[in-house]
């Protein structure tokens, strides 16, 4: 585990920062990235009549004009090649009661929508019932970024349910805002 208690100043050498190439591994990066709390979305659509989707914590609102958001998908994802063919993608911002749903939506085997109530738009975007915000979207740009692809999406429709509090993903734990 990396423990860095030193203050980092401009001009500090790499050693003085307590970070070296030897401890910059995928495992430590994953752990370090986990300190940044995020929400979790479901991104889903109907493809050839079947619901396809996954859970993602890399969602970021980007632009108001034009209306853009993004999420990052692993280049090795076996779901994305199918999901990206959909005319519209549904983004659902998951609520504090969705900790089990996140695991289901992320499962590598079995039904990703087991136990989940979903709503499909006329355009084939799939949304999870009981979530706070639904954003219908189309793919605007794909930007290769290391082992992930940044998927920039243009929002085409919005539905909001303000009473639903969000789930917060932090250091591999699902938390609530008041916890
Ligand atoms: C909390 C959480 C956040 C996740 N965030 C992402 C993400 O941002 N991008 C991504 O590609 N996969 C993410 N995943 C993994 C996917 O939900 C899913 O497990 C993965 O896509 C399954 O592999 P497949 O795409 O080959 O079917 C996340 C999983 C969990 C549990």
Q: Is the pLDDT of residue 16 over 70?
A: no
Cα-to-centroid distance, 169 and ligand 1 (Å): 13
pTM: 0.90
- List, for residues 32-86, the tens digit of each pLDDT value: 999 999 999 999 999 999 999 999 999 999 999 999 999 999 999 999 999 999 9
Residue pair 96/167 in contact (Cβ under 8 Å)? The answer is: yes
User: Which atom of ligand 1 has the smallest separation from the CA of 54?
Assistant: 17
Q: What is the pLDDT of residues 135-159, one digit of tens each?
A: 999 999 999 999 999 999 999 999 9
Closest of 42, 73, 71 to residue 58, by C-alpha: 71
Cis omega before residue 66 (within 30°)?
yes
Q: Whose CA is closest to atom 5 on ligand 1?
A: 56
Distance 77 CA to ligand 1 centre (A): 8
Residue 176 has pLDDT above 80, yes or no: yes
């Amino acid at each position: 585990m990396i423990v860095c208690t030193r203050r980092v100043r401009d001009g500090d050498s790499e050693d003085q920062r307590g970070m070296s190439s030897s401890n910059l591994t995928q495992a430590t990066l994953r752990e370090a990235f986990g300190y940044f709390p995020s929400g979790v979305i479901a991104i889903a659509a109907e493809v050839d009549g079947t619901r396809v989707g996954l859970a993602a914590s890399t969602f970021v609102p980007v632009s108001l004009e034009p209306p853009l958001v993004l999420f990052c998908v692993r280049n090795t994802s076996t779901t994305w090649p199918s999901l990206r063919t959909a005319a519209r993608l549904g983004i659902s911002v998951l609520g504090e009661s969705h900790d089990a749903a996140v695991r289901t939506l992320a499962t590598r085997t079995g039904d990703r929508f087991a136990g989940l109530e979903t709503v499909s738009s006329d355009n084939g975007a799939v949304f999870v019932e009981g979530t706070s915000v639904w954003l219908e979207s189309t793919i605007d740009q794909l930007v290769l970024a290391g082992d992930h692809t940044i998927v920039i999406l243009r929002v085409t429709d919005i539905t909001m349910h303000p009473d639903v509090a969000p789930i917060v993903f932090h250091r591999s734990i699902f938390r609530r805002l008041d916890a």
